[in-house]
Structure 1
C-alpha cells in the first residue's frame, strides 16, 4: 500500500466520528456482533492463514489462544457494555451541596491499532473490542511478518464493516511509520520495546495518547515449598504455547539450586509426553521466519561460547532451511549475553539458581519491570512478600499466562514493558473520554464567595479551611 492513501482512510473514519459523537448501544452492539460473526464464520480460514505464516501452527492452538479469547471478550463486552456506558455518579464535596457531579463516558473518535505477528487475530480483536464497546471507529495496521493473515483480514473486513467503521492497512515499516504519525484520538501498539519508543515519539507530534503493550523478560520464581511437578508442567506449558512466541511467556526461571536437576528431568518428561518429536508434531509451532530463527540460534550459540550448558528437550534433528526449533533449557548463561539481556520470544528457557528468597527478589528488582511475573509456592506469606516487593504488569500465582484471560483484570505493562492497559471495562475506559460534569443547584452559596469580600466571606473561608 502507498503511504499517501493513509490520510484518505483516516479522514473517512475521522469525519464520521465527528458527525456522530453520540453512538447508542444498539450500534455498538451491532459492531461487536459483526466482529464475532466474522471470526466464527471464518474460523477455518483464520487457522489456515496463521499456520501458513508460521510454517506450522496447530489449528487447535489458534482456537485456544486467538479465537476463543476473541469470542469470550466480545461476549463479556456485550453483557456489560450497556452498563459501562451509563453516567457514573460520584460524590460532590459537601461545601458545594446541593450541586451534583457525574462522569459521562464518550467515544474518543478514531482508535489506531498496531498489531503484532505472534497473535495476529487476538492482538487485533482484543483492543478492537474495547474500541467498539466504547463507540469508536478503528484503523488497524497489521504485521508484514504475518502476510497471509493480513491479506485475509484486509479482504474480509469490508464484508462485515463499512469503510467509515473499520479500516485495515497492510504494509511494511514505511507504512507503519506513516500510520503512527496520523492524528488518532488514541493509539495502541503491541510489539517490542525498541519499536514502542518510535511509536510514542511519532504520536507525540499529534499529542496522541498511547497505550504501549511491550514485553521484556518475564520471570518465574519457584519457591522452596512449591509443588515442583505442577510448577514444571505449568511453566513448560506456558513457555511452549506458540513455541514461546508470546509476550508474557516465562522468560527465565529462578529456582533453588537443589531443584535444577529435577527441573531438567521433569521438563524433558513433560515435553516428551505433550510434544513428542517436536520436529514433526502438528501441535508444536514453528518460529515465524528465518530471521527470528537465526536470532534464537545465535542466542544459544553465544551462551554456549560463554560457558553456558544447554539441555535440548527433544532429540529431533533440525531440517535445512527450516524454522522448527526444539525447546532448550540453559544453565549458567552469563548475565551480559543476549539470552539474559533481551526478551527471548522462543522456546529457550534459562534456569537461574538462587540460595535465598532475598537473593531471588533482588535479582528481579535489579532488572527492568516485566510484563508478567509467575510465582509458584504454598506459603501465602512468602507469595505475598514476592507480590509486595516486586513490580510487574501482571501476575499469575501457581500458574502462567492465565491472568491475561481474565476479562475483569486489566492487561498492561509498566516501565519498559509498556504503559496503559485494556481488556474488559479497563479497555472501555481506555478508549473513552470520561467527561466530568458538575451540575450546579438553583439554590447555592456561590454568591457569598463573590467580591466585594467582607466578614461573611472571611467566616466562610475560615469554615472551608478548618
Structure 2
C-alpha cells in the first residue's frame, strides 16, 4: 500500500532526484570525492562545539570532552585515512586467471553503487551518521541520512549543517518519527546501512527485502568480557569500568557482562567501586557522567535491575548514589547471581548494569559464550599467548579487543561489523569503501585464444581436451 504521508512523499521525491543526479554523473573523480570529504571534515570540526552542546541538551547531560573523544576524534581519523588511501582504493585491481583462460586478463573495477540510505541511532548520533557517510562519499555515492527522533536538537542541527555543505541531490538529511523510519527502510536504495537494535534490524531487513536492497546491519547483542586466570586483574577491572561507563553504557560495543575466575567476584566489585570513585568523584553532581537518553530507557534499565533482584540476583551499587529518575542519572551497578533466564541476562542491556558471571576453566568461559548468540564485540584480558590464541580461535564475534574495551572501533583500518544476531556486513576504511561499491569483475579476452576449441559440435577433439584438462 502506498504511503501518502507528506514526509514520505518528499522522501520518495528526494530519492528520485538523487538517482537522477547520480545517472548524470555516475563516476566522480578522486579530486571531487576528496573535496567532498574535506568539506565534511570542515563542517563537522568547525561546528563540533555546537553539536556537542546540542547533544548535551538532548541527553540531559553529556560531557563535551566525551563527545569530542568518542565522536569527533574518530570522524577526523576516518576522513584523514580516506583522504590518504581513497585514490588507491579506486584503482582497478588486477586478478590472476587460470591457465585455461590465458591469455585473457582479469581485473576488478570499483564502481559507485548510486544512492545509499543511512539510518542513524541516538546513542552516537554524529559519529554513526558521518562514519557511514565517509565510506559512501569515498566510494563516490550520494546519500540520504535518517537521524533519530530521540536526539531532536542534534538531528536538526546536523540537517542544517549538511544542507549548508552539500547540494540536496548529493547528501541530504531527513528527520521524522518511527513512521518515517519504517518508510525509509522500504525505499529502493542501492544500499542501506542501519545501526540499531537487533529487534529493529529484523524489521529493516524485511522492509529492504521488498526491493532486494542490500543491507549492512550494525546491531548489538550481549558482548562478553573474559578476565583470564592470570590477567592483570586491577588493570582489567579499571579498563572495563571505563568502557562500561562511556556514554553511561549506551554503546553498542559496551561490555554487557564479565566472566571472572570463580572467587574473584568480590574483588571485582571492590576494585570497580574504587575506580568509579576515582573517575567520577561526587557522583551525584559529577558532570562527566552521561544521563540516560529518555525516561523510557531509564525505566527499562530500572526494570531489568528490579526483575533480576526479585529473581535472586544481588545488586552492588558502585557509587554513593542510586538511580535518579528526575535527572536520569543511573550509576554503574554490578550484578551477581543473576538467573540465566532473567531479562538482564537475555536482553542487550545498553546501560550501566554489569552482570558478573564466575567461571571455573577457560573451556567453561568459551562454552558460555559459544552457546549464546554471536556478539558484536568480545573482550579478553590476558597476557599469555596460549589463552589469547585459544579465545581468538574458538569464539566468533563481530570484533575483538585484547586488554582493551571499545577501542577496536576507533581503529579506522579495521572493519567494523557484526556476525549473526549482532549484524551483517562491515564498514570503516577499505571495507567501508568496498561495502558501498560494486566491485565489478571484468574479463578481457585476447584476440588470439583457444575458446573455439571447446565449442560444439562436441566430438573426439573436445573429449581429448576435457581428459587433458581434468588431469591438470
1:116 aligns with 2:121: yes
Matched with 2:380 is 375
1:152 aligns with 2:141: no
Matched with 1:89 is 94
Superposition pairs of residues 52-63 of structure 1, within 5 angstroms: 52-63=57-68
Offset of 1:454 from its aligned partner?
3.2
1:71 aligns with 2:76: yes
Offset of 1:22 from its aligned partner?
1.6
Quick one: distance in 1 between partners of 2:336 and 2:81? Answer: 43
SS in 2 for 1:102: strand
Offset of 1:111 from its aligned partner?
0.6
- Paired residues in the alignment total 466
Gaps of 5+ in 1: none
Matched with 1:177 is 182
Distance verdict in 2 for CA 1:434–1:270, change over 3 Å: same
Quick one: distance in 2 between partners of 1:22 and 1:4? Answer: 28
Whether the aligned pair in 1 keeps the contact of 2:295 and 2:325 (CA below 8 Å) is no
1:308 aligns with 2:305: no
Whether the aligned pair in 1 keeps the contact of 2:248 and 2:351 (CA below 8 Å) is yes
Whether the aligned pair in 1 keeps the contact of 2:249 and 2:350 (CA below 8 Å) is yes
What's the CA shift string for 1:230-286, capped at 9, x where partnerless? 100111111000000000000000001121111111100100001112221111100
- Runs of 4+ aligned residues of structure 1 deviating over 3 Å after TM superposition are 317-320
Quick one: distance in 2 between partners of 1:325 and 1:171? Answer: 28
Matched with 1:432 is 437
Offset of 1:409 from its aligned partner?
1.1
What's the CA shift string for 1:273-305, capped at 9, x where partnerless? 011122211111000011000000111111111
Matched with 1:450 is 455
Whether the aligned pair in 1 keeps the contact of 2:116 and 2:189 (CA below 8 Å) is yes
Gaps of 5+ in 2: 1-5
Matched with 1:321 is 326
- Between 1:354-363 and 1:187-196, the stretch displaced more is 354-363
245, 256, 259: which is aligned to 1:240? 245
7, 31, 37: which is aligned to 1:32? 37
Whether the aligned pair in 1 keeps the contact of 2:216 and 2:423 (CA below 8 Å) is yes
Whether the aligned pair in 2 keeps the contact of 1:102 and 1:437 (CA below 8 Å) is yes
Quick one: distance in 1 between partners of 2:77 and 2:358? Answer: 39
Matched with 2:348 is 343
Whether the aligned pair in 1 keeps the contact of 2:324 and 2:330 (CA below 8 Å) is no
Whether the aligned pair in 2 keeps the contact of 1:34 and 1:160 (CA below 8 Å) is yes
1:216 aligns with 2:221: yes
Offset of 1:318 from its aligned partner?
4.5
Whether the aligned pair in 2 keeps the contact of 1:277 and 1:316 (CA below 8 Å) is no
- Between 1:361-370 and 1:455-464, the stretch displaced more is 455-464
182, 207, 216: which is aligned to 1:202? 207
Whether the aligned pair in 2 keeps the contact of 1:57 and 1:285 (CA below 8 Å) is yes
1:396 aligns with 2:401: yes
CA root-mean-square deviation: 1.0
Whether the aligned pair in 2 keeps the contact of 1:255 and 1:353 (CA below 8 Å) is yes
Quick one: distance in 1 between partners of 2:323 and 2:446? Answer: 76
Whether the aligned pair in 1 keeps the contact of 2:78 and 2:131 (CA below 8 Å) is yes
Matched with 1:8 is 13
Question: What's the TM-score, normalizing by structure 1?
Answer: 0.99
